[in-house]
């Protein structure tokens, strides 16, 4: 998957500014597709230059002006073409797991502390996902239907975070018993 297609997918659901997209990434797809805000802004410029997005300048009081982007017919066609291609299965690339794998050489206290910090971070992410899920569940039609599939991806994110927290609790208990 490319950032280009993630942006097109988000803007196809609802137009928005670069700032809006950064917030949407953080609140929805960041558990399976992370992108720094600078990269999002660069990609927006490329998509607009390619004719996949239109933008409208919006003057704001007390804030810098912004551009609000909307997907063009060409952008929809690009997204549809990408949707027809098979997706590769996700691979986990998590440095903490390598640290645990080689944990016999680690300072147990430092390893426990790092796992606890990751657990805290995942708990915060889970809380954010649940808040967004509650919001999506409370939508009235036609928005509920419009956001049905994005909500399903968020539900998987919730399950992943819950599983991660359960696993972290087990590893913390085991390492504390070993220490």
pLDDT in tens, 93-103: 889 999 999 98
pLDDT at 1: 55
Report pTM.
0.77
Sign of the CA dihedral with 150 first, then 36, 112, and 125 last: negative
Q: What is the mean pLDDT of residues 147-166?
A: 92
Q: b or e along 37-50 (b: 16 or more beta carbons within 10 Å of the residue's beta carbon)?
A: eeebeebbeebbee
Q: Which CATH class, in words, describes the domain spanning 3-83? A: mainly alpha
State pLDDT tens for residues 2-56: 889 999 999 998 999 999 998 888 777 776 777 888 999 999 999 999 999 999 9
- The pairing of strands 53-58 and 66-71 is antiparallel
- The residue ranking higher by pLDDT, 64 or 166, is 166
Tokens of 147: 């956001």
User: If you ran DSSP here, which 8-state letter would residue 16 be given?
Assistant: B
Share of the chain above pLDDT 70, in %: 98
Instruction: List, in sequence order, the alpha helices (H) in the chain.
Output: 3-13, 18-24, 37-49, 73-83, 95-101, 108-137, 143-146, 148-178
């Amino acid at each position: 998957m490319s950032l280009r297609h993630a942006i097109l997918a988000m803007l196809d659901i609802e137009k928005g500014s670069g700032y809006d997209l950064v917030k949407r990434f953080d609140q929805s797809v960041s558990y399976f597709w992370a992108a720094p805000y600078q990269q999002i802004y660069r990609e927006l410029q490329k998509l607009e230059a390619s004719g996949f997005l239109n933008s409208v300048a919006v003057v704001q009081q007390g804030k810098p002006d912004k551009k609000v982007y909307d997907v063009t017919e060409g952008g929809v066609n690009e997204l549809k073409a990408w949707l027809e291609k098979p997706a590769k299965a996700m691979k986990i690339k998590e440095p903490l797991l390598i640290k645990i794998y080689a944990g016999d050489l680690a300072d147990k206290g430092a390893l426990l502390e790092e796992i606890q910090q990751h657990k805290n971070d995942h708990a915060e992410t889970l809380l954010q996902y649940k808040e967004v899920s509650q919001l999506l569940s409370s939508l009235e039609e036609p928005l509920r239907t419009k956001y049905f599939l994005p909500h399903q991806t968020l539900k998987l994110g919730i399950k992943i975070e819950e599983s991660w927290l359960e696993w972290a609790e087990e590893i913390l208990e085991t390492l504390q018993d070993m220490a």
